[in-house]
């Protein structure tokens, strides 16, 4: 830059300082400051202040002439010190992150002045103001100290530079909380060392009855009362703070929710812990191969028993009534129908003789003389009217005589509803998703899984689990069978897709003797015999969920034959996983599933008939009872029956397949029979002493 042109105004004031470059550009060359012809003042006279203080700005017109060219420069010049921070600051930005205050809170706001290049300019004076003094009061306009007053709403705090540049910040003002209350999650029952089903939710409340956001709530359990998922949570826009409470070991457990800021307010919550449970042998025999004791048809009797059988069809009604049909005893199949209520069996219908033939009557017409043929390996459902439905199975103990007939029992007589009266009919798929009376899944047995949904519709998946088996999904309602999804060809391998992500192309593939249950909006399938990702017939341990339109692989090995990861007994853990298995029993209640036994792979990866009991809460497995390891050299877990009617921690059913399991209205878990057994067990989730 060139030398300054300087002078003094009258009174000793500093004149404007103009710094020029050594040469100024023009269209034909460079104009030297030495060639400047004249400069004259334009407009109002300049006034000034002492150095370092901004002054009124005057305007000069500098006329420079070079040969025949004239250049006029209009320059805005500031009087005073050119290093004055206020002179360099052209914008300001509020830096304070606070966006919410409670009534009575006082804070100091911060701001940053910036020059034309966006760089911070220090030591610039600010002036702060409130856009709504009914909510924000400025205590110190220079320092930026403000106080919130008790009026719920939003106000703006504004900061301004001497030049007039400004910025503002919106601050939400809320009344202070006067109490903390329980929204949900109090007085639950749960399993010792496991999370409660529902989260604990509390709310910080102001005197206007509305919630207060941003309140820090501490969750403090008593000794022996487990732990919350978070020690502290800030309340949300509704004033709510939420945690998941995992219980400890005490019988009655306590959790305090305490607001730390601004006031110390508290509310107490409690929960009851249940022990993992004990098995009680309720009825039947401790030996296998017991023959049926029919008693009088239609008359319940504590001495009655269906006897030891395998491959029977079971279905459980919402009221806990258990239906049992057929199965194999010795070398013969049966068609007798039994009902279990309050632990007592009643022979309801069918023959007490082996290998009975079927009597079909007229399709769709109830007939007291109609009767399904004896069979094993069928599936059953109970609809929302309480009627029992029966489909398929094998109509001989050791021959290939598979059925596709569908039957309904209304409590007094059978009705042949659909399918053929002859064996081994091929499927008729029709249009995907469209029900029709001519559609049929075809003859099959050892189905992969079956469910009843919330609308009372009957679902069926797969069969056999071999290269000759199927992996198709069917639904039955009053309009007939609908093919919902899966392949129409035999021996299809699974298509897993991305873990946890439903997709139209996903499928468990060919599957037989799996376990199944329902939760709200979902059908679940676990394990069974099938083809793995390498198209090899194996026992699987994968878990699938069907959302009504698409399958999602939820977890478990894609290769099968996976060992169980048991963890600590009674403790849920994301690292736990049930071992691969086939022929296992399952039941569900209150969004929780239970799985028992089957031919399974133990903790060491050894296969055998297990008696382990598992619980699945939708995301974590818990090993509850039974053994996690087969005895050395043995392929079956031995049972311990104890005394009939007396629960004991040492009791356990023996390892077995094809049992039936259900949960009654009181939350008690029941297990019956399987693989030649006729014993009835109860698993009580009882309070700690």
pLDDT tens for 337-392 read 999 998 899 999 999 999 999 999 999 999 999 999 999 999 999 998 899 999 99
For the cut 50, the answer to whether the pLDDT of residue 14 exceeds it is no
Contact 458, 476 (CB under 8 A): yes
Q: Tokens 């607001």 sit at which residue?
A: 259
- How many Cβ atoms are within 10 Å of 660's Cβ, its own excluded? 23
Q: Is the pLDDT of residue 72 over 50?
A: no
pLDDT at 597 over 70: yes
Average pLDDT over residues 220-249: 96
Cα–Cα distance between 166 and 627 in angstroms, integer?
A: 73
pLDDT tier, 30 (very low <50, low <70, confident <90, very high otherwise): very low
What is the number of alpha carbons within 13 Å of residue 41 lying toward its C-beta?
A: 11
Q: What angle do CA 124, 125, 128 make, to 5 degrees?
A: 130
Sole residue written with tokens 């460079």: 30
Mean pLDDT of the chain: 86
Tokens of 393: 């199975």
For 498, the token pair is 């991305």
Residue 685 clears pLDDT 80, i.e. is over it: no
At residue 667, the pLDDT reads 81
Between 468 and 316, name the one with better pLDDT. 316
Mean of pLDDT values over 270-286: 90
Tens digit of pLDDT for each residue in 530-543?
999 888 999 999 99
Q: At 687, is the pLDDT very low, low, confident or very high (cuts 50, 70, 90)?
A: low
E strand or H helix at 86? helix 85-88
Between 640 and 52, name the one with better pLDDT. Answer: 640
Sequence-separated (6 or more) residues with CB below 8 Å from residue 468: 490, 491
Of the pLDDT bands very low, low, confident and very high (cuts 50, 70, 90), residue 636 is: very high
Q: Give the pLDDT band of residue 49 (cuts 50, 70, 90).
A: very low
Q: Taking residues 432-457, report their average pLDDT.
A: 91
C-alpha distances out from residue 581 to 282, 517, 525, 638, 657, Å: 26, 16, 12, 18, 10
Residue 302 has pLDDT above 80, yes or no: yes
Cα 276 from Cα 649, distance rounded (Å): 10
Three-class secondary structure of residue 307 per DSSP: coil
How many other CB atoms sit within 10 Å of the CB of residue 68?
5
Question: Domains in the chain, ordered, with CATH?
Answer: 10-77 (no CATH), 85-174 (2.60.40.1080), 177-274 (2.60.40.10)
pLDDT at 8 over 60: no
């Amino acid at each position: 830059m060139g030398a300054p042109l300087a002078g003094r105004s009258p009174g000793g004031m500093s004149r404007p300082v103009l710094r020029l470059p050594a040469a100024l550009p023009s269209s034909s060359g460079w104009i030297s400051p030495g060639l400047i012809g004249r400069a004259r003042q334009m407009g109002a006279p300049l006034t000034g202040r002492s150095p370092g203080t901004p002054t009124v700005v005057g305007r000069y017109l500098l006329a420079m002439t070079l040969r025949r060219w004239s250049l006029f420069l209009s320059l805005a010049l500031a009087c005073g010190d050119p290093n004055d921070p206020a002179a360099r600051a052209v914008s300001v930005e509020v830096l304070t992150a606070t966006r919410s205050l409670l009534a009575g809170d006082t804070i100091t706001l911060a701001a940053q002045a910036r020059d034309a290049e966006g760089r911070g300019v220090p030591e610039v004076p600010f002036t702060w103001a409130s856009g709504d003094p009914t909510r924000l009061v400025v205590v110190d306009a220079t320092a930026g100290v403000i106080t919130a007053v008790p009026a719920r709403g939003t106000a703006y705090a504004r900061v301004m530079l001497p030049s007039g540049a400004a910025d503002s910040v919106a601050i939400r003002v809320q009344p202070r909380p006067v109490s903390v209350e329980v929204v949900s999650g109090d007085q639950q029952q749960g399993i010792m060392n496991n999370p409660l089903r529902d989260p604990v939710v509390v709310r910080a409340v102001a005197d206007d009855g509305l919630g207060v956001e941003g309140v820090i709530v501490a969750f403090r359990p008593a000794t022996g009362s487990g732990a919350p998922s978070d020690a502290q949570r800030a309340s949300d826009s509704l004033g709510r703070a939420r945690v998941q409470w995992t219980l400890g070991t005490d019988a009655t457990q306590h959790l305090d929710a305490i607001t730390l800021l601004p006031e110390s307010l508290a509310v107490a919550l409690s929960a009851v812990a249940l022990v993992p449970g004990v098995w009680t042998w309720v009825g039947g025999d401790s030996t296998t191969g017991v023959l049926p004791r029919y008693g009088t048809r239609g008359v319940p009797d504590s001495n009655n028993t269906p006897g030891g059988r395998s491959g029977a069809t079971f279905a459980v009604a919402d009221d806990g009534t258990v239906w049992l049909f057929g199965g194999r005893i010795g070398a013969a199949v049966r068609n007798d129908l039994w009902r279990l209520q309050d632990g007592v069996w009643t022979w309801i219908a069918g023959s007490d003789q082996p290998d009975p033939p079927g009597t079909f009557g007229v399709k769709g017409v109830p007939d007291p003389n109609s009767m399904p043929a004896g069979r094993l390996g069928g599936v059953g459902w109970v609809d929302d009217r309480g009627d029992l439905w029966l489909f398929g199975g094998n109509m001989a103990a050791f021959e290939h005589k598979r059925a596709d007939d569908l039957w309904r029992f209304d409590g007094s007589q059978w009705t042949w509803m659909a399918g053929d009266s002859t064996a081994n009919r091929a499927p008729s798929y029709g249009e995907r998703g469209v029900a029709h009376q001519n559609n049929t899944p075809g003859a099959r047995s050892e189905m992969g899984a079956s469910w009843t949904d919330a609308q009372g519709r009957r679902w069926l998946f797969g069969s056999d689990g071999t290269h000759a088996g199927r992996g198709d999904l069917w639904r039955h309602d009053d309009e007939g069978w609908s093919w919902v999804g899966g392949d129409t060809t035999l021996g299809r391998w699974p298509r897993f897709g991305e873990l946890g992500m439903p997709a139209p192309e996903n499928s468990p593939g060919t599957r037989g003797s799996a376990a199944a249950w329902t939760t709200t909006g979902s059908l679940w399938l676990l394990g069974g015999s099938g083809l793995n990702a390498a198209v090899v017939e194996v026992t699987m341990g994968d878990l699938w969920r069907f959302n009504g339109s698409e399958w999602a692989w939820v977890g478990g090995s894609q290769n099968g034959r996976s060992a169980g990861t048991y963890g600590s007994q009674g403790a849920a853990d994301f690292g736990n996983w049930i071992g691969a298995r086939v022929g296992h029993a399952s039941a569900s209640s209150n969004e929780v599933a239970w799985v028992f036994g089957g031919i399974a792979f133990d903790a060491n990866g050894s296969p055998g008939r297990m008696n382990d009991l598992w619980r699945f809460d939708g995301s974590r497995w818990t090993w509850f009872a039974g053994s996690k390891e087969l005895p050395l050299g043995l392929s079956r877990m031995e049972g311990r029956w104890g005394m009939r009617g007396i629960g004991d921690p040492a009791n356990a059913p023996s390892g077995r397949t094809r049992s039936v399991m259900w949960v009654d209205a009181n939350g008690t878990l029941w297990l019956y029979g399987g693989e030649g057994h006729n014993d009835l067990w109860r698993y009580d989730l009882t309070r700690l002493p």
